Amino acid sequence: MSNRIYVAIDTPDLARAQALAHKVRHHVGGLKLGLEFFCAHGATGVREMAHIGLPIFLDLKLHDIPNTVAKAVQALGPLAPAILTVHASGGRAMLEDAKAAAPTGTKVVAVTMLTSLDASDLAETGVIGSPADHVRRLADLAAEAGVDGIVCSGEEVAAAKRSWPKGFFVVPGVRLADSVIGDQKRVVTPRAAVDAGASILVIGRPITQAEDPDAAARAIAGTL
């Protein structure tokens, strides 16, 4: 199995993003570019990063009415990202239309419950039930709508994989025992996430904020 680590390049600074990606490129399997980067550099920035030669995960977490999301996915098509995110809570029609609008080689994955939320945050948004229940419900919806997989925390991935064996499971909120946790609330170690069934891991600050990002990526890859 190739390297399952996608490094989250969360910066609006193109030169820093390129420098980071060059440093870690031998010890990660792909680059994840998110809102921070895309708002600053758009499609041109994504093309610049693609020159580095690793698969691109474009994490824009699209969430709008079906027509708007489908048109946005279509507009991103020429970038041919390996992976693209939408929010599962956008509903069945939005998920179906996002998948239909994506290029053949792009995996559309649906974010279930952000790893920065816990049970009390969920209750505050009016959702009844535990994070596990909520993720299960949205994972079932994503599978039925025909997208390729979901994003969930390492705490839910084993159950999700049992009910959707062919799904593609993206796990962020990954921390080593001695990592700074920051704003994440549902965290697991890289090894635990892979053992539970993660297809890929999204890892940002434990690599990007390390004194030596390449050594950090290599060390994490070595635990898998």
d(CA 142, CA 164): 10
Closest contact distance (angstroms) between CB of 163 and ligand OMP is 19
Question: CB of residue 200 vs ligand OMP: minimum separation in angstroms?
Answer: 10
133 is catalytic: no
Q: What residue ranges bind ligand OMP (CB under 6 A)?
A: 8, 10, 34, 59, 85, 111, 114-115, 151, 172-173, 182, 184, 202-206
Q: Is 23 annotated as a binding residue?
A: no
User: Toward ligand OMP, which CB reaches closer, 29 or 173?
Assistant: 173
Task: Catalytic residue, from 13, 61, 118, 121: name it.
Answer: 61
- Per annotation, catalytic residue among 59, 97, 107, 148: 59
Question: How far is it, in rounded angstroms, from Cα 30 to Cα 84?
Answer: 13
| The Cα angle at residue 187 between residues 223 and 32, in degrees rounded to 5 | 70
Instruction: Tell which residue, 22, 93, 30, has the closest CA to residue 59.
Output: 30
Closest to ligand OMP by CB, 102 or 151: 151
The verdict on whether residue 205 carries a ligand-binding annotation is: yes
- In the complex, what is the shortest distance from the CB of residue 205 to ligand OMP, in angstroms, rounded to a whole number? 3
Give me the least distance between CB of 58 and ligand OMP, in Å please. 10
Q: Is 204 annotated as a binding residue?
A: yes
Q: Based on CB atoms, which residue is closest to ligand OMP, 145 or 150? A: 150
140 is catalytic: no
For residues 2 and 27, the answer to whether their CB atoms sit within 8 Å is no
Question: Is residue 99 annotated as a catalytic residue, yes or no?
Answer: no
Question: 136: annotated binding-site residue?
Answer: no
> Could you tell me which residues are annotated as the binding site for substrate?
10, 32, 59-68, 115, 175, 184, 204-205
Binding-site residue positions: 10, 32, 59-68, 115, 175, 184, 204-205
Known catalytic residues?
A: 59, 61, 64
